[in-house]
Each structure stands twice: as structure tokens, then as C-alpha cells.
Amino acid sequence: MSEVHSLKMPAVLDQELWFPSAESALTSVDVNGLVAVGGELSVDRLLLAYRSGIFPWTVNPVTWWSPDPRAIFEWDRFHVSRSLDRTLRRNVFQITIDQAFRDVIEGCAAPARGRKTTWITPEFVDSYSKLHLEGHAHSVECWRNGALAGGIYGVAAGGMFAGESMFHRDADASKVALYYLYRHLKDRGFELFDIQMLTPHTESLGAIEIPRSEYLKRLRIAVRMECVF
């Protein structure tokens, strides 16, 4: 059966299903949170990673990370700006859940203004689409006039949801998707909304950083919960 081992240095993974402790991650100016290298993006390994506070970031080889600090949304701190509030009140977008998962992740992977490349490779698209088909990965979609205008996707494990990436083709579409995801998770009783690393964009919406040690304590509680996305 799968297990998590405690090591002092990042591990090289093989076919055995295991991870070193997230607390063993390298933390330096150049490398913040590298836990392990190797393995594959199978459904079982991905689920074990998220339940262990670890997530993948590259392929060829696969690298596994647990940065310190960790970024999250608290349930009482989401900031709705005046412009976002106007967009929400106007009902510009039609919102759906899990209706176009692969389209959303492919939208996140596509080149965008100011971004020619992305870490979301075809291998990630295929692996997370398998997670979705098995009920572990989910998406929120924003539609406008029948076209996909933006969305967000992530992974659920018990009462933890890890937001992975979002995109927009229309102004505010990704913010609206994130807002509805936040409300959905809160209404469903999720304990922890993980967004991994803080960006100026998510910080402006109220996201904060907490020490990895605190994150892992919360995660251990969250993954034991039975929440239905």
C-alpha cells in the first residue's frame, strides 16, 4: 500500500507509490519547496501527493513541490472589488461546474498576453483530465453568449481543494470563476482552499500566506473530512 516516508533530502522516485515528507523539501533562495524528482502523473500518485501537501510542477522529469510559505484563501477574507462587484451584479457570465473541464485546463495551458509558455504541458492536461473523470478534479466555467470566456480548475481531497490554474478570454471572467468556486467550496463545508503560491492577482482578492507547518496541520484535518464537491 502507499505510504509517506520522512527524509532529510529530496528523493528520487521510482515506480513504488510513496513520497518523502513535505517538511523535507529544499527551501532556499533558488529552490523553494522541491520535495522529490521522478515518478509519474498517475491518478494514485497525484492523489497521494495532494493528500501529503505536495503538487507537481514539471514533466521530463516530474518534479514535486511543497513551498514554504503556502498560499490559501480564508473563508472570511475574499475581497470583492468595486469593478468585480459590478460585473457580478450585471450577471455578465453564465456559470457552470464540471461541464467543460478539459476545455478549461486547455484554456489555462494556452498562450496568453504576456505569457508565451506555461507549465501545463499536454501530459498535465491528460493526467488531470483522468483525475476529473474519476471525480477528483473539478472546474468552474464562465460562459458568455455560448462561448467559454474563462474558468478555473483544481483538485479535491476530502475537505481540501487545491486551485491549480485559471484563465480568461473576457475581462473579469477568471475572477468571477474564482469567486464562484470560493462560494461553492464554502457552501459545501470545505475546510481548506489551497492556492499553493501567492501572486499579486490572488493577493488583491484576499489570499494570504501561512507557514507550511500550519498548512500541513490544517491539511491533516481537511483530508479526513467527507466533502462532496
Name all domains of the chain by residue range, CATH numbers in brackets: 3-67 (3.30.70.3550), 72-222 (3.40.630.70)
Residue 8's φ and ψ, nearest 5 degrees, are: -90, -20
Question: What's residue 227's pLDDT?
Answer: 97
Beta bridge partners, 58, equal: 63
Q: Output the CA–CA distances (angstroms, integers) from residue 127 to 74, 132, 164, in the order listed.
A: 28, 9, 13
Largest separation between any pair of C-alpha atoms in the chain:
53
Cα–Cα distance for residue pair 216/24, rounded to 1 Å: 13
* Radius of gyration from C-alpha coordinates of the chain: 17
Is-contact 190 126, C-beta < 8 A? no
Question: What's residue 2's pLDDT?
Answer: 58
Question: What's residue 30's pLDDT?
Answer: 78
Residue with cell 501529503: 52
Cell numbers standing for residue 77: 477574507
| Ordered per-residue pLDDT tens for the chain, 229 residues | 455 554 456 789 999 999 999 999 998 777 899 999 999 999 999 999 999 999 999 999 999 999 999 999 999 999 999 999 999 999 999 999 999 999 999 999 998 765 555 789 999 999 999 999 999 999 999 999 999 999 999 999 999 999 999 999 999 999 999 999 999 999 999 999 999 999 999 999 999 999 999 999 999 999 999 999 9
Question: What's residue 9's pLDDT?
Answer: 66
Instruction: Please tell me the pTM assigned to this model.
Output: 0.93
Sign of the torsion angle spanned by Cα atoms 37, 157, 28, 121: positive
Angle at the Cα of 167 (from 162 to 173), degrees rounded to 5?
105
Is-contact 78 84, C-beta < 8 A? no
Cα–Cα distance for residue pair 136/158, rounded to 1 Å: 10
Question: What's residue 114's pLDDT?
Answer: 58
Cα–Cα distance for residue pair 21/5, rounded to 1 Å: 6
Question: What's residue 115's pLDDT?
Answer: 55
Residue with cell 522529469: 61
Residue at 164: amino acid letter: E
Residue with cell 532529510: 8
Question: What's residue 120's pLDDT?
Answer: 94
Contacts of 66 (CB under 8 A, 6+ apart): 22, 23, 25, 33, 35, 52, 53, 54, 55, 212
Contacts of 135 (CB under 8 A, 6+ apart): none
Cα–Cα distance for residue pair 205/226, rounded to 1 Å: 28
Residue 180's φ and ψ, nearest 5 degrees, are: -70, -35
